[in-house]
Structure 1
């Protein structure tokens, strides 16, 4: 059986990797879209807004998954606590 420190270390490493993955995604997003905006302005048309918005939505969803719903995250932990409280209250009721 794993010790508490070992499982905590695994969770910390998993969260750090997820955040690092998001930062990598954000850097690529900025670099590619800077190039697309440059090309778009050189063309005289504002077509670069479409990949910027579409990919930006994907980056936003990735960020939400990493910082809001990640294992051990605040929102996930509060949801788990609420579910535990519901289950405890159901168990306490006599049938």
Structure 2
């Protein structure tokens, strides 16, 4: 039989009190994780609705960040992008 002992919180899973405490704590952690996930998803959807798209410009081929944060075509890289699409369509 396996058990868990938390010295910091003084929880032993060998007794029913420890099992209950661990179950409650894990439920709270799960709910907090779900809440954070929902908030992040809501934030992304809100930014999309407002027309604010987050782009990783350092790894985004063909575009750079303009002065106002919008996408600006990089002419040198645009040639590569056009070639990639052309090859894909062939």
**TM bin (shorter chain):** 0.3 to 0.5
When the two structures are superposed, what TM-score results if normalisation uses the length of structure 1? 0.39
> Between Structure 1 and Structure 2, which shows a larger proportion of helix residues?
1
> Between Structure 1 and Structure 2, which shows a larger proportion of strand residues?
2
